[in-house]
Structures are given as C-alpha cells and as structure tokens.
Amino acid sequence: HVQLQQSGPGLVKPSQTLSLTCGISGDTVSSNLSAWNWVRQSPSRGLEWLGRTYHRSRWHTDYSTFIKSRMSVNPDTSKNQFSLQLRSVTPEDTAVYYCVRAERTKGTFDIWGQGTLVTVSS
Amino acid sequence: DVMLTQSPLSLPVIPGEPASISCRSSQSLLHSNGYNYLHWYLQKPGQSPQLLIYLGSNRASGVPGRFSGSGSGTDFTLKISRVEAEDVGVYYCLQTVQPTWTFGQGTKVEIK
C-alpha cells in the first residue's frame, strides 16, 4: 500500500524559495516502474504539472516549460523521499501543491499526497 | 503543449440517470504502442484527485463498473451509466503522451 506524506511550510515570503518534501512508503524513489512528480492547483490556473524525477539506469528530471527556470526536483535515496524547490516566488505561486506518483504501466498519476496549501505573502 | 478542452464545464445530474463528459485534445494522444494516453480523475470536495480511468478505457482498481471511458486520437468520453450521489465533484482529463503533461479545465458534477 503506497502512501505519500508531504511536509513543508505553508507560508513563504515573496522572492524567497518554496521548499517541500514528499516521503514515500510502500515504494522506493529509485524504482524503475515509478516517477515522482509535483503538481499544483489554484482557482485561477487549475491543475498544473510542474516537474518529475525518476530512475531508469540513471536519474532523470523533467520540468514544465513555464516554470523550468525556477524549479528543482531532487531525489533522496537515503531517506526514500523527493523534494521540490521553487525559487523567486510571487503571489501567483500561491496554490495547493501535491506530490504524486506516476506508475509506468498505467502511464499516469496513481497515488497522490494529501496536498499542502502554500501561500506566498509578506 | 497539448491543450485539453472539456465539455460541459458544469453538469447537473439526476441520481439514477446517465451522464457524459467530453475531452477533446489539440493533438492526437495515440502513442505508437497503440495506447491512448488519456486518463480521467475525480476530485471530491476537500480531497486529492483520484484515478478513475487510465489509458483511455481501463478502470482503476476499486472504481465501480458504472464508470467507463472511450475514444481515440483526439476525442474522448467519460460515461457514468447511473449517477449516484457519491459521484459529485470535479472530473478532469489528463494527457500524458507528451513529456509535458496537461489537464483539462475540469467539469463540475452536482446533483440537480
């Protein structure tokens, strides 16, 4: 039974870095059958895929074009988790952020974290 | 990026009646492996989205048989054969054929 547990602050000041972590149980971050994603949701922009990391002989990362310059997704094999860092945030980055597993045979997201509301405000 | 357009955006339903949601893509979602990389999710109030249908027509584990997905290429449909009260929420389609994955705008289903 796979579960994802998110952690991180709910309030970030403008121009600072948003950092979230997603702990994995029931799977491993280095699995060849899974990819580990961040998705966010806001009333104005809906659901947006942000980026992913996954291991297929070596580590790969992909990012959505609109956020690529500000974002990093990193695996941590020692803690079986992965993280999101979003730099230079503005109020438009206020959203619920989800960590999500994508399972290779289904070709899509199948397990979601509980979501973290992150507000960007001074 | 691939754009997905859902219709309708709001769908009042009567319990026991059928319901249908359309998702149209700006590009074909048919992969060379023969699968359509179009999936359906339901987000109930206060919850994370949950997978209903993957690869166009496959029901996810635990999803009731009243949900079905069909379509190919650029036109897809989610059908509920007989709506139940627990089916209310927002339904999203998602494409994963391109490296950048994109969602539809969502269709809000509520009891009439």
A51 beta partners? A38, A63
Q: Cis link prior to A75 (omega < 30° from 0)?
A: no
pLDDT score for A109: 96
Q: How many residues does chain A have?
A: 122
pLDDT score for A122: 96
Note the pLDDT tens digit of each residue in A59-112.
999 999 999 999 999 999 999 999 999 999 999 999 999 999 999 999 999 999
CB contact under 8 A, B103 and A48: yes
Predicted confidence band at B2 (pLDDT cuts at 50, 70, 90)? very high
pLDDT score for B103: 97
pLDDT score for B7: 97
pLDDT score for A93: 97
| Partners of residue B89 in chain A, C-beta under 8 Å | none
Predicted confidence band at A114 (pLDDT cuts at 50, 70, 90)? very high
Note the pLDDT tens digit of each residue in B43-86.
999 999 999 999 999 999 999 999 999 999 999 999 999 999 99
Q: For chain B, which residues lie within 8 Å of any Cβ of chain A, measuring from their own Cβ? A: 1, 35, 37, 39, 41, 48-51, 54-55, 58, 60, 92, 94, 96, 99-103, 105-106
pLDDT score for A108: 92
pLDDT score for B43: 97
CB B61 within 8 A of CB B54: no
CA distance from start to end of chain B: 35
CA dist A113 and B30 (Å) reads: 29
* B94, HSE (Cβ side, Cα atoms, 13 Å): 29
